Structure 1
Amino acid sequence: MTTRAFVTGGTGFIGANLIRLLLDKGYSVRTLVRSNSSSNNLQGLELEIVRGDLNDPDLYRQMRGCQVLFHVAARYSLWQADREKLYESNVLGTRNVLAAARMAKIERTVYTSSVAAIGVGRVGEAVDETHQSPVKQLVGHYKKSKYFAEQEAVKAARMGQDVVIVNPSAPIGPWDIKPTPTGDIILRFLRRQMPAYVNTGLNFIDVRDVAQGHWLALEKGVSGDRYILGHQNLSLRELLEQLAAITGLDAPQNIVPLWLPLTVAWVEERVLAPFGKSPSVPLDGVRMSKQPMYYDASKAVRELNLPQSPLDRALKEAVEWFVSRRYL
């Protein structure tokens, strides 16, 4: 009997790659798409699309007949003005999705959290799933909303619901339609819009490995546990040098002192935005870059057999995808 999976966030970067993996593995897929959202990332795929919202009171009706749930959907924004929408979608939406799963008798749920919910350790330290920064130290409402959303999954698991939590780091690869912050770095590099860079770092992973990690969490994960889906810790300079090697374009050589983008972001969000000017640099994004965000994914590698595909291949395919879709 074919397993039917219900997927939220299927039109996004991780969701689109996850759905392709599930279809390849023989799953029947039903995905929730907001009424005003494009389904371009899913064109040509044999799946069922249902229209609705994470906070719909009758969401359980859309899930009926499915055995497993991947709750991937989340609102991402670093703008101060979006904080209410972040909590509404990420926290209340997750609470409602988990309640709907119980009503629809979903057998197992994989909830997509983020390393953002974990926080960071000391400067340059790679932290694992046992680490948790105090909520007040999480920079910005996006990170705080993902922390509180993850707590909804933890509570559900403690009450007996079968929920496994995965925490992706920064994915790289095709189908980055928006694009994500990592995709934006790649695009700005390709467009020659990055004359300098901030001295920071991130943990990166091939988005196909993230999708595989979701499926492996469904198959092998322990309910209530969280698993970091990550691979390689790189400074932003190291990432740009890899892009330079792939494309033949020169990597920027100059480091921007942090006070400069902090000042620009503060003026734009706090002074100019109330007068109708759209800010170009999110203040929370600059604050996050003050410290490298490094993670240790050895638990997922050990317990789930999470793949660790070469990042240069993921970067090359991301570049090719953006170029083929005329993002430049």
Structure 2
Amino acid sequence: MKHAFVTGGTGFLGANLLDQLVSDGWQVTAMHRRTSNTDRLRALGVNLVEASLNDPESLQAAIPDNVDALFHMAANTSMWRAGNAQQWKDNVEGAAHIAQVAREKNVGRMVVTSSISAYGYHKERITEESDKLADDPHHHYLYTKKREEIVIRKEIERGLDAVFLNPCAIVGKYDTSSWAQTFFLIDKNQLPGVPPGWGSFCHAGAVARAHITAVEKGRCGENYILAGTDASFLEFFAKIAELLDKPVPKRTTPAFVIQTIAWFSDLFSRVSGREPVITPEKATLVTRRVVASSAKAERELDYQSGVDLDTMLCECRDWLAQNNLLESK
């Protein structure tokens, strides 16, 4: 029986991965923080260990020797400047810690959940050959995801076997904090506007499957972009509104308006200490065109990029409804 060690198993993508690992017959050890809700993991029958990315000694104790695969999915995805210091510790220092321990523990392969954000913003479609432009610390999440890859590559140079997966905008079940937030806003008739950006949307289940396939088929040190269906946010939000039987938005809000709202919201947050709904970093993300190609992952990892947007959004809606997270029924 293959043995997997997973970080971020209580998160959105991690939940999808754990489903598939258990279904495939893997023995799974999942790392969690003391404050995490582990009820679902216990129900799946995975082994639970408490540890912190910021505590190398706890990682040494948590990670078994010679596991077949270590899936590093944990990430701090904050896009608010007040969280930057902790985000650096989690995404960069934490990645350095776990990569070092993975090498020392002779992990068979480390599969790293990076992000399309590591490539920064491009005017053209992003491929693995595109430059990684995430060098502006004002876009701190993007900045840390590039540097996460850099510190792990240092361990690859010392003998670690690792591959990098770069998902785009993930949609599917178990989401409560990513695109599910758009469902909540539309469901409560609180959507302030529709941004003019574009994205590549990928299915959570297909992304999780690519992680498992990468254990056997990925090439050490390589990046694999996981894209999917390209759509404007107007189309994306309109489909959600239709699924919730809410008024369908017909036009976008100009980028400068969204940026202005974000700037004032951020200014107010400096007084209130509360994270605003829209931050300058989020405003930039949703007003840009971030589309990518997953041709390499399709060739080498058998990645299934063809899940249509309606299927992804229906899965997300149905799961939210089943868990009583939507007001509309």
| Distance 1:141-1:158 versus aligned 2 partners, 3 A rule | same
Residue number in structure 2 paired with 1:214: 211
The one-letter code sitting in structure 1 at the alignment partner of 2:238 is E
Say which is worse superposed, 7-16 or 99-108, in terms of deviation: 99-108
Name the structure 2 match of 1:91: 92
> For the Cα contact (< 8 Å) 2:103–2:155, is it kept in 1?
no
Which residue number in structure 2 is paired with residue 314 of structure 1?
A: 312
Q: 1:99-135: CA deviations, max 9, x gaps?
A: 111222211110110000012321xx21111112433
Cα distance in structure 2, aligned partners of 1:109 and 1:192: 43
Residue 81 of structure 1 corresponds to 82
CA drift at 1:259: 2.2
Bigger mean CA deviation after superposition, 291-300 or 128-137: 128-137
What is the rounded CA distance, in whole Å, between the counterparts of 2:192 and 2:278 in structure 1? 16
Question: For the residues of structure 1 that align with 2:40 and 2:309, how far apart are their CA atoms?
Answer: 22
Q: What amino acid maps onto 1:72 in structure 2?
A: M
Percent of paired sites with the same residue: 30
Q: Tell me which of 228, 232, 257 is aligned to 2:229.
A: 232
* Residues 303, 201 of structure 1: alpha-carbon distance in 2 compared, 3 angstrom cutoff: same
State the distance in 1 between where 2:261 and 2:239 align: 28
d(CA) in 1 for partners of 2:254 and 2:159?
Answer: 49
Aligned mates of 1:244, 1:272 — CA distance in 2: 29
User: Could you say what secondary structure the match of 1:255 adopts?
Assistant: coil
Q: Do structure 1's residue 63 and structure 2's residue 60 form an aligned pair?
A: no
How far the C-alpha of 1:277 sits from its partner, in A, is 5.0
Report deviation, 1:324.
1.5
| Cα distance in 2 between the residues matched to 1:175 and 1:277 | 26
| Cα distance between partner residues in 2 of 1:297 and 1:78 | 25
Instruction: For residues 188-210 of structure 1, give each alpha carbon's deviation from its aligned partner in whole angstroms, at most 9, with x where no partner exists.
Output: 22332225301111110110001
**Shift of residue 285, structure 1, vs aligned partner:** 0.5
The answer to whether residue 282 in structure 2 is matched with residue 285 in structure 1 is yes
DSSP-derived class of the 1:127 partner: coil
**After superposition, what is the alpha-carbon deviation per residue over 1:122-177, rounded to whole angstroms, capped at 9, x for unaligned?**
1xx21111112433357611110111001122222233210011011111111113
Between the aligned partners of 2:238 and 2:276, the Cα distance in structure 1 is: 29
Q: Distance in 1 between matches of 2:69 and 2:258?
A: 44
* Other-structure match for 2:13: 14
SS at match of 1:197: coil
- Distance in 1, matches of 2:242 and 2:23, equals 32
Give the unaligned 5+ runs of structure 2: none
Task: Kindly provide the amino acid, as one letter, of the partner of residue 304 in structure 1.
Answer: L
CA RMSD of the aligned region, Å? Answer: 1.8
Instruction: Name the structure 2 match of 1:111.
Output: 112
Paired positions, count: 323
- TM-score normalised to the size of structure 2? 0.93
Alignment of 1:23-34 (within 5 A): 23-34=22-33
Pairing of 1:223-262 with structure 2 (within 5 A) = 223-262=220-259
Q: Which moved more, 1:199-208 or 1:262-271?
A: 262-271
Moved more, 89-98 or 130-139: 130-139
Give the secondary structure class of the aligned counterpart of 1:227. strand
Find the residue that maps to 2:20 and give its secondary structure. helix
Conserved in 2, the CA contact under 8 Å of 1:268 and 1:277?
Answer: no
Unaligned runs of 5+ in 1: none
Structure 1 stretches of 4+ moved >6 Å: none
1:267-303 deviation per Cα after TM superposition (whole angstroms, max 9, x unaligned) = 2223442344542321110122231111111110111
* In 2: Cα distance, 1:136 partner to 1:319 partner: 36
Alignment of 1:161-180 (within 5 A): 161-177=160-176, 179-180=177-178
Further displaced range: 140-149 or 194-203: 194-203
- What amino acid sits opposite 1:165 in the alignment? F
Q: 1:327 matched to which residue of 2?
A: 325
Question: How far apart are residue 261 of structure 1 and its match?
Answer: 2.5
